[in-house]
Structure 1
Amino acid sequence: MDIDINYIKAIALLQKSSSAEGFLASAQNISNYKRVWARDGVICGLAALASGQDDLIDTFKKTLETLAKNQHPIGTIPSNVMTNGTETEVSYGGLAGRVDALTWFIIGICQYAFYKNDASFVEKHQLNIEKCLTLMEAWEFNNKHLMYVPLSGNWADEYITDGYVLYDQLLRVWALKSYHHFVKNDTIASKITNITEQIEINFTPNSDGEKYHERTYNEMQFDDFMPCSFSPAGYKTQFDAFANSLAILLNIGSKDFRKKIIEHAEEIRNQKPLQLIPAFWPPIKETDTDWHLLKNNFKYEFRNYPNEFHNGGSWPMVNGFYGLALLTQNQNKEAKALLEAINNANQKEDFSFYENFNTETEMPNGVPFCTWSAAATILLHQGITANFKLLI
C-alpha cells in the first residue's frame, strides 16, 4: 500500500526540525520558534513514537534530556531552550510562567519509557519528576487538588483563561497516570482520584459534591461540554477543544456527557469551511466583556483577532488530539474525515504546515513549517492505520 503523501511530508518536516538538542518548534528561524519547546517538543515526540522511526524517537529522547538538564532548581521545566554554540538560553515563560511545561515533560518521559519498555528511563528522571509534582502541589495554593494557573500560563498564552484552567488540570491527571504506571504509588493513585473528582464536581453540570465557587456554579448555564476555566471572578464558558479532547481521552465525565462533547464539537466543525474544530469557541469580539483581557496580552504583536490564533482560530495540532479522542469513542468515520481536513490545511501553500488558520476565511496564520502541525497528521494517521495508542 502506498504511504500517503501528507504523512511523508509530515515525517520529513520533523526530520528537518530535528537538532542535537531535540525537536525545534519550526523549521524556520522565526521569532523564538527555532528552540526546543517543552509542549511542542513532547507533542512532536509523541508523533515520533507513533511513527516508529528510530531517528525521530532518538530526537524525542534528546528533547526530554535537554528539558531535564535545564530544569530550574525549584522544579520548573523550561518553556523553551535555545543552544547557540557554547551558550544556552533558557526561558521559563514570557509574561507569565508556563504551567503545562511540567506536565508535558512528565508525560513525555513516561510515554517514551512505555514505548521503549524501559522503566529505567523513568527511574533516571525520577528526581526531575518528583520536583515537578511537588511544585504542582504548591500551585494549588489552597490544597484542594486543582492548580491555580496565571493568565498566559499555558499553551494558550495570549488568551483569557486563568485560575482553575480545565486544560491544565487534565494534563496533570494524564501526567500522574503516566507516572503511576511505573511507580505504582498509593499517594499518586489517591491524587489522581481527588483531582478527577474535583474536575467532575466543578466542570460538569448537575454534579454532586462541594464546589469551589458554589454561587457562580449555580448561576452557570452549562452547555454540552466542560467550560474552559473558572476563578474567584466566575466561569469562562468558551468551548476549549484541546481540553475537552483530553477529558474524552482520560474518560473524565460520564459516558453520556463525553458523547455530548463530541456531538457539540462535530456540530461546530461541520459548519466551518475548513472542517476543523476551532481551539476556543465562540470567538471574543471587541464588544465582549473579556476583550480587555485579550487586547494587551501579547509580547510581540497582537494576533487574537476574532477567528484567529487562540481566539477562535483552527489549529491542526488541536485537531490531532481531538481525532485521537474520536478514536477512543469508536468514531472512526469522523476521525478519518478529520484527518483529511487536517491534511488539507497542512497542504496549503505547498505543504507549509501553518500554525493555525482563520476559521472563517481559511487564511493561514502564525508560523509556517510548524512541527506540531505535522505531528497532528502523524498521530492521527497512525492511530487510524496502525492502531497506535498512547499510554493513558
Structure 2
Amino acid sequence: MDKIDQAYEAAVEVLRACASPLGLKASALAGGYPHVWARDAPITSLGALLTGDAALLEASRASLTTLGAHQSELGMIPLNVDTRSGQVTTENAGAIDANLWFVLGHYALHRHTGDDAYLRSQWGRIGAALTWLRYQDMNGCGLLEAPEAADWADLYATRYNTLYANALYVGTLEAASRLAAALGEDPAPHLARADDVRRKVNLLLWLDRPWDGHRFGAQLETLKALRLEWFLLYQHTGTLTEKPYFLPWAGFREFGDTFDGFGNMLAILFGIADEAQAASILDYAHAAGTDAPAPLKAFFPPIYPGDRDWREYYRSRNLNLPDQYHNGGIWPFLGGFYVLALHHAGRGERAHEALRALADANERGRTRPWEFNEWLHGRSGRPMGHPLQAWSAGMYLCAYHALRRGEAPLLPPCPPRSGDPWAGASG
C-alpha cells in the first residue's frame, strides 16, 4: 500500500481513539490532552467529517455541544473542557480563537450534514459567540485586538491586530453568513463585515513599498484616513519594508517580523490574498524552507535570546527555544493547511509533494510508527510533542480528501479578494 494511503488509515484509527462521549479529545494518549479543545476539535472535524465514519460524526457534533454548554454569560467559548471531570480549564482562558473555531466548527458540521434542526438549536450560542468577538474590537477599528499569546500560539509573542485571528475572523464571518442564510436569516451584515476585515488586513499587514511609490502613498493616505494610529506605525517605524507575506501582527508603534505560517495559509484560503499575493506567500514558504524537513513551521525564522521579541517565558518547559514549538517548530496539522493552500492556488504538483512529506512526518515516532505527533523539531524533524494528536491526524485526512478524492475541505468557500484596498478611505 502506498504510504499516503497508509497514513490515511492510520489517521482514522487515531481519531477513533480520540472520540469520547463529550467530543474529540486533543490526544488519544493517556495523560496527554484528555480535553475537548475549542480550536483542536473543530480543526480535527475538518477531516473527521469527510471519512463518513458515524462515530466521528457524532464526536464532532458532541464537541460543539460540550463547548457550547460551557459558554459564558457574555458569549465566550471556553478554551477546553476536560473529558474526565467535565470542568473547564482556566489556563490561557479567553483565547480569542476559541469563539472563531466554534463558529467554523458549526459551519463544517452543517455543510456536511445539512441538519437545520441542530443548527437552529445552537443558533443562540453561535450568535452570542459572534457578539463576544465583536467586543474584541475594543477600539472600533474593524479588526480584532488580542493580548499577547492569546490564540493557538499560546506561548509566543504575537499581539494586538494579529494576522491569524483576523484572517480567521474573515472565514468565521463568511461561515456565519452561510449559516444565517440556511435558517432564513439575513446574511448581509456578516458578509459586509468580512469584506471590511479582508480589506483592512491588506491595508495594515501587507507591504508593497519599493515597487510602486504611488501605490504605497495611496496606502498611507488610506491608513491615515481610516485610523491615524495605523498611519503612525508606518511613519515612525523606519525598518518596515516590503515583505513577500502578510506581517504576523501590528501594534502600538511596532510590528511582527516573522513569517506566520498558519496566518498566511488562512489568508490564502479565506480570500484575503489575491492571486499574486498567494504566489508570493507560497514561493517564500518553499524557498525559505518553512516546509522542510516537513510542512509546516509555525513561525520563521526563530527568535533568539537578545532579539526584540524574545521572551524569557519561551524557556518554560523547554518548549519555545529556537526551532522548537511555536518558535520555528514544525506542526503537522499546519502541514495540512499548507497542502490545502497549495491546492487552492492551483499548485497541484507541489501539493502532492507536500502531502507525501506530511505522511512521512506523521509516520515518525519515538515509541511507535504512525505517531501523528504534535510537533517536530524545526531542523532535525524529530518528534518532540505529544503523540496521537487529533488535529495532526484530522488535517492529514482533510488534505488527503482534497487531493486524492477531490472533495472540498469543510471551510467557507471565500471568494478571492476583489478591488483595490488602497482605493478610497471610507469604512
Same fold flag (TM > 0.5): yes
Give the letter for the 1:114 counterpart: R
Aligned to 2:183: none
Match of 2:323 among 281, 302, 307: 307
1:325 counterpart SS class: helix
Which of 103, 110, 131 is the matching residue for 2:100?
Answer: 103
- 1:57 paired residue number: 57
Structure 1 SS opposite 2:88: strand
Give the AA of the match of 2:230: H
Q: What amino acid sits opposite 2:156 in the alignment?
A: Y
How far the C-alpha of 1:297 sits from its partner, in A, is 5.4
User: 5+ residue gaps in structure 1?
Assistant: none
Matched, 1:225 2:226: no
**Worse-superposed segment, 74-83 or 205-214:** 205-214
One-letter amino acid of the counterpart of residue 171, structure 1: L
1:267 paired to 2:283: no
Does residue 282 (structure 1) correspond to residue 283 (structure 2)? The answer is: no
Q: Following the alignment from structure 2 to structure 1, what is the Cα–Cα distance between the partners of residues 338 and 269?
A: 9
Q: Which digits, 9 at most, give the CA deviation of each residue in 1:144-187, with x for residues without a partner?
A: 11111011210000001011111001111111101101314222
Distance 1:275 1:297, change over 3 A: closer
Cα distance between partner residues in 1 of 2:291 and 2:38: 33
Distance 2:163 2:116 in 1: 30
The answer as to whether partners of 1:97 and 1:152 remain within 8 angstroms in 2 is: no
Describe the shift of the 1:30–1:83 C-alpha distance in structure 2 as closer, same or farther (beyond 3 A). closer
User: Shift of the alpha carbon at 1:117?
Assistant: 1.7
| SS of residue in 2 equivalent to 1:133 | helix
Q: Is the counterpart of residue 17 in structure 1 residue 15 in structure 2?
A: no
Distance apart, 1:96 and its partner CA: 5.1
**Secondary structure of 2:393's aligned partner:** helix
The worse-fitting range, judged by mean Cα deviation, of 370-379 and 17-26 is 370-379
Runs of 4+ residues deviating >4 angstroms: none
- More strand, by proportion: 1
Q: Is the 8 A contact 1:96 1:152 kept in 2?
A: no
**Residue type matched to 1:15 in 2?**
R
2:78–2:93: 8 Å Cα contact kept in structure 1? no
Amino acid at match of 1:287: G
Residues 194-231 of structure 1: CA deviation (Å, up to 9, x unaligned): 11111111011246322542133353113100011111
What amino acid is aligned across from residue 329 of structure 2 in structure 1?
G
**Residue 420 of structure 2 aligns with which residue?**
none
Secondary structure of 1:237 counterpart = coil
1:79, distance to aligned residue in structure 2 (A): 0.6
Q: Deviations over 1:285-305 (max 9, x none)?
A: 1131211x3x2257x623001
Are 1:227 and 1:240, in contact at CA under 8 Å, matched by a contact in 2?
yes
**Structure 2 match to 1:175:** 172
Q: Name the structure 2 match of 1:195.
A: 197
Is 1:26 matched with 2:46? no
| 2:396 aligned partner, one-letter code | T
Largest Rg, 1 or 2: 2
1:214 alignment counterpart: 231
Which residue among 380, 386, 403 is the counterpart of 1:367?
A: 386
Matched residue SS, 1:301:
helix
Q: Equivalent residue for 1:387?
A: 406
Whole-angstrom distance in 1 between the partners of 2:341 and 2:260: 14
**Is the Cα–Cα contact under 8 Å of residues 290 and 300 in structure 2 kept in the other structure?**
no
* Higher RCO structure (Cα 8 Å, ≥6 apart): 2
CA distance in 2, matches of 1:256, 1:354: 34
1:237 to partner: Cα distance: 1.5
Query: Aligned partners of 2:30, 2:87: CA distance in 1, in Å?
Result: 15
For residue 83 of structure 1, report the CA deviation from its aligned partner: 3.5
Deviation (angstroms), 1:95:
4.1
- 1:339-377 Cα shifts (integer Å, max 9, x gaps): 111111111121111111111122211111111111121
Greater displacement, 50-59 / 159-168: 50-59
Q: Does residue 242 of structure 2 align to residue 245 of structure 1? A: no
Determine the C-alpha separation between the residues in 2 that align with 1:155 and 1:276: 17
Question: RMSD over aligned Cα, in angstroms?
Answer: 1.8
The answer to whether the 8 Å contact 2:44/2:394 transfers is yes
Q: Are the aligned partners of 1:18 and 1:24 in contact in 2 as well (CA < 8 Å)?
A: yes
1:30 Cα deviation (Å)? 2.9
CA distance in 2, matches of 1:175, 1:136: 10
* Cα distance in 1, alignment partners of residues 83 and 255 from structure 2: 40
The one-letter amino acid of 1:73's match is: E
Distance 1:375 1:283 in 2: 27
Q: Distance in 1 between matches of 2:331 and 2:320?
A: 13
Identity level (%): 28
Question: With structure 1 as the length reference, what TM-score do the two structures score?
Answer: 0.93
Check whether the contact 1:7–1:381 (CA below 8 A) recurs between aligned residues.
Answer: yes
* TM-score (structure 2 length as normaliser): 0.86
Q: How many residues align?
A: 384
The answer to whether residue 346 in structure 2 is matched with residue 344 in structure 1 is: no
User: How far does residue 8 in structure 1 lie from its aligned partner after superposition?
Assistant: 0.4
**1:326 aligns to what?**
342
Residue 88 in structure 1 maps to residue 86 in structure 2: yes
Matches within 5 A, 1:34-45: 34-45=34-45
Aligned partner of residue 8 in structure 1, secondary structure: helix
Comparing 250-259 and 170-179, the one that deviates more: 250-259
Q: Aligned to 2:135, which of 119, 131, 138?
A: 138
The SS at the match of 1:89 is: coil
